[in-house]
Amino acid sequence: MKKVLIPTKLDALASKILSDRGYSVVQEPKTPILDLAKANPDAHAVIVRSEKVTAEVIDALPALKAVVRAGAGFDNIDCKYARSKGIDVMNTPGANSNAVAEEVVALILADIRHVVRADETTRRGEWEKAKLMGRELAGKTVGIVGLGHIGRLVAKRISGFECRVLGYDPLVPAEKAKEFGIEPADVETIFRESDFITLHIPQNAETKGFVGKKLLALMKNDATLVNCARAGIVDEDAIREAKGLKAIRFLNDVYPKDAEGPKSVADIADLMMPHLGASTVEANRNAAIRAAEELADLDEKGVSPFVVNRDMPAGLDASYCDLAFTLARLCRAILGAEKPARRIEVSCYGRLQPYSRWLSLSFLNGLWSDIDRASDFKAVLADLEGRGVKFEVREADASKKYENSMTVDVATDGAAVSVRGTVGEGVKMVARIDEFNHLYWTPTPNAVFFEYDDRPGVIAAIGDALHKADVNIEDMRNPHNPETGHSMALLSTNKPVDPDLVASVAASIKAIKSGVLAL
């Protein structure tokens, strides 16, 4: 009989479901997880909420095969160490979404109607009716950053207040956002025009400090920022400085650590809650059911759509995953980071063909950081479909003889790009960009490109402009297509090139396309 440890206050349904399916369940929410692990070294699986599953906990469980996070985020689990031990880590995305969405609305209403202070003062026998004049949510503008499960539910819940709802998510096409009653907008517009801004993006290297001085400076004098996502996506010092300049409000439910003790945002948060976003009876029940069923399905059927730490398959060189990621960055740079993709097509040739799904995940991770390379492919496809993005892995045409190459096509509103790349002697190479073939360009951190009608003097003009800006050209490709009469100047430089300089050069040479390739 397989033993499952549940060191958390998870709904008893999880224990019942697992017991009914033949598991032995030990649920002790008051016992520290490490102590529980040491007392049950034969445990097959662990289901946690916010408890930390560290390397020490994993080492105490030599028979461990799975860890299930009853919730969406899994940064409390050492996923890499778990994988090194052959342990699958799973999560239950969506189980807590409605609870968090409702919490956002609750925080906003509690703040604008002074619910906390009104209760405290009235209980003391005071009568602050004149001082507690509130505001109404109806007719205001609400901005939502991140239109995943929670962001879309916030839009749905807030719609009853007849608000104008703005939304930003690079993964969601404009018409799809409109189906949810959301007006697509860029981040700057959201911070500039919204009365209330709520954050629903993951925390990672790219989103750390996402809300900083620049965005806070755009906020209205009496606007409100709500963070029920992750603590690290806001720059606390920037909020502290901004609140010293204007009367913005900050409502917070997330912290670096879920534990008692002083909180670093105590001086700047106008309302604070102890990470209660997912703390509802319904969310707890949903997460419990999902966690138990996912574990049983993994053991009984090998079903793994929610495994988040999948290993690199044997036979695939990791450098090709890096190539896929780089090709995605190249596509983004050429098309523009703010344009949502509508269609993505991927072809893998030669020995790469069996690994199309793995390489596609690396490519998608390069387009959108919130798609993890270790995610289950089917789950990602379902998410893309829900967001209105068409994705296809094409059958490779062997007659083209593109040995061990990867071709990707990305289309947005009114624009598209097609690139092909490979790896030679361990070095990533871009073989083609659109109509320009045989490039064999090695991507570098700093590069620029210009596409133009071919004629004498263009390269000299580009070089002169870079020279005057003290930018050195370290490598250059200058292919020409006689059928279209177009040429491309693809230049690697010794340092970043100012986008304004690129725009100026593009105007002077009448470029068809141009841009900075910060890869």
Q: What's residue 355's pLDDT?
A: 84
Q: Is residue 382 part of a domain?
A: yes
Q: How far is CA 101 from CA 104, 105, 159, 250, in A?
A: 5, 7, 12, 17
Q: Is residue 295 a part of any domain in this protein?
A: yes
* Residue range 14-40, pLDDT digits in tens: 999 999 999 999 999 999 999 999 999
Instruction: Identify any residues that bridge with 390 across adjacent strands, giving them in sequence order.
Output: 343
The string of pLDDT tens digits covering residues 303-329 is 667 788 765 665 677 788 889 989 998
**Residues 388 and 495 reside in one and the same domain:** no
Same domain, 361 and 465: no
Same-domain check for residues 477 and 362 = no
Which residues partner with 513 through β-bridges?
A: 451
The CATH code of the domain that includes 415 is 3.30.1330.90
Domains identified in the chain, total number: 4
Residue 238 belongs to some domain of the structure: yes
118 and 254 share one domain: yes
| Residue pLDDT, tens place only, 251-298 | 999 999 888 999 999 999 999 999 999 899 999 999 999 999 999 988
Same domain, 365 and 414: yes
Do 387 and 240 fall within a single domain? no
Residues spanned by the domain of 260: 97-272
CA 163 to chain centre: 26
Query: CB count, 10 Å around CB of 488?
Result: 22
Picking from 240-249, 308-317, 354-363, 484-493, which range would have the lowest pLDDT averaged per residue?
A: 308-317
Query: Do 32 and 64 belong together in one domain?
Result: yes
Is residue 128 domain-shared with residue 210, that is, in the same domain? yes
Full DSSP string of 98-145: HHHHHHHHHHHHHHHTTHHHHHHHHHTT---TTTT-----TT-EEEEE
Is 78 domain-assigned? yes
Helix pair angle (97-112, 281-301), 10° resolution: 160
Within a domain: residue 65? yes
Is the domain of 266 the same as that of 287? Answer: no
Rounded CA-CA distance 258/412 in Å is 40
Confidence of residue 373 (pLDDT cuts 50, 70, 90): low
With a CB cutoff of 8 Å and minimum separation 6, the contacts of 204 are 369, 370
Q: Does position 137 have pLDDT exceeding 70, yes or no?
A: yes
C-alpha span between 135 and 303 (Å, rounded)? 50
Q: Are residues 318 and 346 in the same domain?
A: yes
Tell me whether residue 439 is in a domain.
no
Residue 252 has what pLDDT?
A: 97
Q: Are residues 420 and 371 in the same domain?
A: yes
The pLDDT of 353-374, averaged and rounded, is 80
pTM above 0.85, yes or no: no
In a domain, 515, yes or no: yes
Please indicate, yes or no, whether residues 176 and 117 belong to a single structural domain of this protein: yes
CATH code for the domain in which residue 49 is found: 3.40.50.720
What percent of the chain is modeled with pLDDT above 90? 67
Q: 307 in a domain, yes or no?
A: no
Q: Which of 399, 434, 469 is the last residue of a domain?
A: 434
